[in-house]
Amino acid sequence: MPVSTLSIVEEVESALSSSSDIKALETLERVADLYLSSAGQYAADQVEIFDKVLERLVKTIEIRAIADISARVALAELSARLAHVSRAPPSAVRQLARNDDISIAEPVLKESACLTAEDLVEIARLKSERHLLAIASRWWLKEVVTDVLLARDFPSVSRRIINNPGAKISAAGFAILVAQAEADPELAVETGLRVDLPPKLRDQLLRKATETVHARLLSSAPPHLFEEIRNAIEAVAAGVGRDMSKTYDFSNAARFVALLEEKGELNEGALRGFAKQRRYEDTIVALARLSKSSVEVVRPLMQSMRHDGILVACKAAELGWDTVTTILNCRYMSGSASALELTKAQEQFAAMNRETAQRLLRFWQVRTS
């Protein structure tokens, strides 16, 4: 349908110079109707004119009348109408997508093909959780976009992304998800079922996951993923079994720690020194003595992939957090616990009660005996 671009521009200039918000809204609706009636037939220069016109109208209405419910409704309707148009005016779409009102931004954030990865990254860095959820719902997302979405650390957004088969996730993005999944069994299951989860990160997720999560993964895995998950779980179980069955000679450590105790030199500083030097046997024996427990109780706690148990022994021994951190890192042959792991462990340790920790240790001691 032929369109007089001059008449459109004149009408818009009249609406913008007018103090009437109603006239601006009527002009917006008329221009949108004109464009959408023949969107696929316009030449590039005509699309550009419509784009500039609509963008100016949207900006003006946002500034002058956005507090008016009718203005918000009009912009939300325009967003919904443009969201599915492949040749929608790009600048106008970007303006709508950046609106703080989610009812206006959501349609184009979810659907519009006019938004580039750069547009989505900019919005994902600045806008609300609901804006991020809308972006995470798009049928196709590049890794550069999901990296920014996941870095904002909203559990709801993480779940939306992990359940979106069109969302591409980088290794760094999966690392964030695996770390979040430690405290979120639902997310652990959903992440474990992603076919594109790197094998090393799948192993890491399974090492930290509970048996319940293992069982749910096996019961929910599709046929093409079932064997991979089962083999990974068996590998993790076998690895833990080899660790637990390794022969350690605690007799020398027991004699050495007993001698320190006789001299009055067995204290937190000595224990921290053992852990810092990764003297595994000495660390276990010293912690057992200071927590008034036994090697039979403390050793499995040290070998567990979870922090809960060893934190109980450290709390019972009234250790400071610096010493606890050193003991946690002593469990690794090389390297150390991640910053996120240590942060969560510190919160858990701070919330513990010493009397409760001592009572738990006594219970474990009785059970072991």
Q: What is the pLDDT along the chain (369 residues), one digit of tens a residue?
A: 444 554 555 555 555 555 556 777 888 888 888 888 877 777 788 888 888 888 888 888 887 655 578 888 899 999 999 999 988 999 999 999 999 999 999 999 999 999 999 999 999 999 999 999 999 999 999 999 999 999 999 999 999 999 998 999 999 999 999 999 988 999 999 999 998 999 889 888 988 888 889 889 988 888 878 888 888 887 776 555 444 445 667 889 999 999 999 999 999 999 999 999 988 899 999 999 999 999 988 888 887 667 888 999 999 999 999 999 999 888 766 566 777 778 888 999 999 999 999 998 888 888 766
Distances (CA, A) of 227 to 146, 221, 224, 237: 28, 9, 7, 15
Q: Point out the domain boundary residue: 90, 114, 138.
A: 114
135 is a domain residue: no
262 is a domain residue: yes
Q: Tokens 């779940």 correspond to what residue?
A: 159
Domain that holds residue 21: 1-114
Domain count, the chain: 2
285 is a domain residue: yes
| Number of helical H runs and strand E runs in the chain | 23, 0
19 is a domain residue: yes
Q: Point out the domain boundary residue: 61, 80, 114.
A: 114
Please count the CA atoms within 13 angstroms of the CA of 209 that sit on its side-chain side.
30
125 is a domain residue: no
Do 298 and 290 touch, CB atoms closer than 8 A?
no
DSSP class of residue 291? T
| β-bridge mates for residue 153, sequence order | none
pTM for this prediction: 0.62
Interacting residues of 331 by C-beta distance below 8 A, sequence separation 6+: 302, 303, 310
356 is a domain residue: yes
Per-position DSSP letters for 296-328, written without gaps between them: HHHHHHHHSSSSHHHHHHHHHTT--HHHHHHHH
Q: How far is CA 138 from the centre of its chain?
A: 17
130 is a domain residue: no
Q: Point out the domain boundary residue: 73, 88, 114.
A: 114
185 is a domain residue: no
